[in-house]
């Protein structure tokens, strides 16, 4: 189901905790890293691994916003729109990303390269406005900087 590397990591994770169920969320994050999102088959797999009903795994998964049941773009953009970012112009950043991508928040661009969602406070308030792309911070943004970042990613493909 998963690569040797991921399987090894699963085994390691389960060994870290006094109760193996604690490995559930880190395991799902790893599964997502490999597949891009969490497939029903992965839920079944992890459930069997930890002696859980897949329903429990799905329920727990659906509680956490970083875990997703749908594929996202190669570059997944999380735009913080909470208070500090709002005060520093996240509206413009959000508008810029939507304009640049040509899709609504929550959608994936036709080439599969980008997707963007609105996100809650990313703990980067003093460097607002901020976005995260695939887990990395882009801070102190303005519209021009945002455009440059997206251009750069487009070139990198």
Q: Which residues bind another protein (CB under 8 A)?
A: 16-19, 21-26, 28-29, 40, 43, 50, 52-60, 62-67, 78, 81-84, 86-89, 91-92, 120-128, 132, 135-137
> Cβ closer to another protein: 81 or 146?
81
- CB 110 → another protein: shortest distance, Å? 27
> Cβ closer to another protein: 33 or 154?
33
Contact 47, 54 (CB under 8 A): yes
CA-to-CA dists, residue 153 to 50, 148, 150, angstroms: 38, 9, 5
Contacts of 98 (CB under 8 A, 6+ apart): 104, 105, 116
- CB 148 → another protein: shortest distance, Å? 18
> Cβ closer to another protein: 11 or 111?
11
Peptide bond into 50 cis (omega under 30): no
- CB 12 → another protein: shortest distance, Å? 11
> Cβ closer to another protein: 64 or 102?
64
């Amino acid at each position: 189901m998963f690569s040797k590397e991921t399987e090894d990591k699963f085994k390691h994770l389960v060994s870290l905790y006094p109760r193996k169920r604690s490995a559930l969320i880190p395991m799902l994050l790893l599964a997502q890293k490999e597949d891009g999102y969490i497939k029903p088959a992965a839920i079944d797999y992890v459930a069997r691994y930890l002696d859980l009903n897949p329903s429990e795994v799905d329920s727990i998964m659906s509680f956490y916003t970083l875990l997703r049941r749908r594929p996202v773009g190669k570059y997944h953009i999380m735009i913080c729109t909470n208070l500090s970012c709002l005060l520093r112009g996240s509206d413009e950043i959000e508008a810029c990303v939507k304009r640049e991508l040509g899709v609504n928040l929550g959608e994936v661009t036709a080439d599969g390269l980008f997707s963007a969602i609105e996100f809650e406070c990313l703990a980067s308030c003093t460097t607002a406005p901020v976005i995260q792309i695939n887990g990395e911070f882009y801070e102190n943004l303005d519209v021009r900087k945002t455009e440059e970042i997206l251009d750069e990613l487009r070139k990198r493909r």
